[in-house]
Structure 1
Amino acid sequence: MKVKSLSDVKIEITGKGRGVFANRNFREGEKVVIGHRVQSLPERTNHSFQIDIDLHIELDEPGRLINHSCNPNTGIRNNEFGAYDFVALIDINEGSEITWDYETTEYISIAIPECCCGASNCRIKTLGFKFRSTQLRKKYGIFIADYLKDFSI
């Protein structure tokens, strides 16, 4: 099972491309999407997820379609499938777009040349954990990639 129920989330077309939306209410701390590794990649791509300093992976859908936000409603946590779970950082209402912060997995990010998340705290561009480690650790706590937790602040 890739999400708690196949009807828990849905994929829709947005102004940013495809996105993932809540098909029901989620409570803070609840797993929203459980990601599964599809394959390991020889190098980073615009759609890969960094799982270790020298390892990038492709996730299955819907995980790979969750868009970035500088003020996301989910955080990531490593899981037993060699990928990430997306966990609600706040209560998420039905119909809301599910988002996460790309800098919580990417040491150096190449995914977004110009951010279009629309958050009031938008950083304009995702640079990566390397450039914001203190800020991201404070904001997300345990909801960053495990391999990034080894980097000193």
Structure 2
Amino acid sequence: MSTIESILAAKLNSHVTIQETAKGRGVFARKKFVKGETVVVGIPIEEVSQRTIYSFQMDFNLHVNLDEPAVVINHSCYGNTGVKNNQFGGYDFVALCDIKAGEEITWDYETTEYESIAVLECLCKSPYCRGKTLGFKFREQILRDRYGEYIADYLKTKRK
């Protein structure tokens, strides 16, 4: 990541904070976000040769590690943010509803992962909890219906 990207990311992400939770570290709003507002800008810090529980899938054969705070946003089967590809080669996390100051920022890992290995036992406690993450491949219609345009660009096209 270049110095300019680092400075920009720090400025863009200044309205969230990382805190310890019962699930580990998480990201929390320092201000109110309105539906449609970008909450976190995730910038890639490196490509990785294979998926990990911390990597983000950008294409069928491309996984990257994103910077903080993006990398510590926790999963929810009914996330309050959705993802949009950004100009840095990472993801923006966009509010799907109004988010109150102090509220935890969450996203659905299956909106970027074609096959997911990240969550073997989900702790989201959402009424829509699916128990674990499997990946977009296994829940395509559910995810398209819930998140619409807020899924990874590569998942918007059919796999070749």
Contact 2:13 2:40 in 1 (8 A): no
Equivalent positions of 1:93-132 (< 5 A) are: 93-132=100-139
Greater than 3 Å deviation, 4+ residue runs: 3-7
1:24–1:100: structure 2 CA closer, same or farther, 3 Å change rule?
same
Alignment of 1:50 with 2:57, yes or no, is yes
- Measured after TM superposition, the shift of residue 2 of structure 1 is 1.4
Alignment of 1:25 with 2:32, yes or no, is yes
Find the counterpart in structure 1 of residue 85 from structure 2.
78
Aligned residue among 71, 91, 96 for 2:98 = 91
Secondary structure of the corresponding residue to residue 64 of structure 1: helix
CA RMSD of aligned residues (A): 1.1
Opposite residue 26 of structure 1, the aligned amino acid is F
Contact 1:3 1:34 in 2 (8 A): no
Deviates more, 1:5-14 or 1:69-78: 5-14
More helix by percentage: 2
1:2-58 per-residue CA deviation (whole Å, 9 max, x = no partner) reads 155553000000011000000000000000001101000000001000000000000
Identity of aligned residues (%): 58
* Structure 2 runs not aligned, ≥5 long: 1-7
Contact 2:13 2:69 in 1 (8 A): no
* Structure 1 runs not aligned, ≥5 long: none
Distance of 2:14 and 2:65 partners within structure 1: 23
